[in-house]
Chains A and B, each alone.
Chain A
Amino acid sequence: QQQVKQSPQSLIVQKGGISIINCAYENTAFDYFPWYQQFPGKGPALLIAIRPDVSEKKEGRFTISFNKSAKQFSLHIMDSQPGDSATYFCAAEYSSASKIIFGSGTRLSIRP
């Protein structure tokens, strides 16, 4: 119930294509779903986040789609660029407990 399952483990996308990373959770007590981006040798950095009362959130080329009934959410990167090559982590948090659970990560490579 504490797990957040993330797929795929790795993803290769051509420049200009759409990158899609999926996550699923079990615990309906989670009320905040952030995505983090991590470059080699760096710590994770918050990319975009969503709350379960919203089905979609868009910031620039990054969009989170959220399906509350299916307990799934996904990150879409439009017009993917080589600079987007990084590891992406989804996460889920129940804010009342200030505890965050991370997915296992997706290593994204954008081919030029």
Chain B
Amino acid sequence: DSGVTQTPKHLITATGQRVTLRCSPRSGDLSVYWYQQSLDQGLQFLIQYYNGEERAKGNILERFSAQQFPDLHSELNLSSLELGDSALYFCASSAHGGGSSTDTQYFGPGTRLTVL
């Protein structure tokens, strides 16, 4: 158990809808990262937040947004959902904000999103 929690575990929704995925980092960790894992695109970095502020951005679509709250939990909002958004979404956390080279990332168990 990495200490990172994600809810919900599974989510099934329809095209055009909006969903929110939630992540609670390990106790004391200040950074939260979001990743998308799909069969055709593999594992992709979406975005990083550090202590409430956006730190780094990857291949995140404009329809997707994230935020990190004062209690350090994070939410990933996915809107105008398309079939291709079906994937596993992972959250990871680390103690500081330097990226994986200076700061081990611990991954949560993921949220499986299915868009019908």
**Chain A contact residues, CB within 8 Å of chain B:** 31-32, 34, 41-46, 49, 51, 89, 91, 93, 95, 97-105
Q: Measured between C-beta atoms, what is the minimum distance from B27 to chain A in Å? A: 17
On chain A, the residues within 8 Å of B108 by CB distance are 43
Q: Is B44 a contact partner of A98 (Cβ separation < 8 A)?
A: no
On chain B, the residues within 8 Å of A102 by CB distance are 42-45
On chain B, the residues within 8 Å of A45 by CB distance are 2, 106-107
On chain B, the residues within 8 Å of A105 by CB distance are 42-43
Q: Which residue of B lies closest to A6 (CB)?
A: B42
Q: Measured between C-beta atoms, what is the minimum distance from B21 to chain A in Å? A: 13
Q: Which residue of B lies closest to A45 (CB)?
A: B107
Which of B2, B44, B92, B100 sits near A93, CB closer than 8 Å?
A: B100
**Chain B contact residues, CB within 8 Å of chain A:** 2, 4, 42-45, 48, 55-56, 58, 90, 92, 97-102, 104-110
Q: Is A98 a contact partner of B99 (Cβ separation < 8 A)?
A: yes
Q: Measured between C-beta atoms, what is the minimum distance from B112 to chain A in Å? A: 10
Q: Is B99 a contact partner of A44 (Cβ separation < 8 A)?
A: no
Q: Measured between C-beta atoms, what is the minimum distance from B68 to chain A in Å? A: 15
Which of B42, B45, B107, B109 sits near A99, CB closer than 8 Å?
A: B45
Given A97-B56, A99-B45, A105-B42, the answer on whether A43 and B109 have CB atoms closer than 8 Å is: yes
**Cβ-closest 3 pairs across A and B:** A43-B107, A98-B99, A32-B101
Q: Is B99 a contact partner of A95 (Cβ separation < 8 A)?
A: yes
Q: Is B110 a contact partner of A43 (Cβ separation < 8 A)?
A: yes
A49 to B103, CA, bound (A): 12
Q: Is B98 a contact partner of A95 (Cβ separation < 8 A)?
A: yes
Q: Is B100 a contact partner of A44 (Cβ separation < 8 A)?
A: no
A34 to B43, CA, bound (A): 14
Given A95-B98, A98-B48, A99-B58, the answer on whether A43 and B92 have CB atoms closer than 8 Å is: yes
Q: Which residue of A lies closest to B1 (CB)?
A: A42
Given A34-B100, A95-B99, the answer on whether A103 and B42 have CB atoms closer than 8 Å is: yes
Question: Which of B2, B44, B90, B107 neighbours the largest number of chain A CB atoms within 10 Å of its CB?
Answer: B107
Q: Measured between C-beta atoms, what is the minimum distance from A105 to chain B in Å? A: 6
List 15 extra interface pairs beyond A42-B109, A43-B92, A98-B55, CB under 8 A. A32-B100, A41-B109, A42-B107, A42-B110, A43-B2, A43-B4, A43-B108, A44-B43, A46-B100, A46-B104, A46-B105, A49-B100, A97-B99, A99-B56, A102-B42
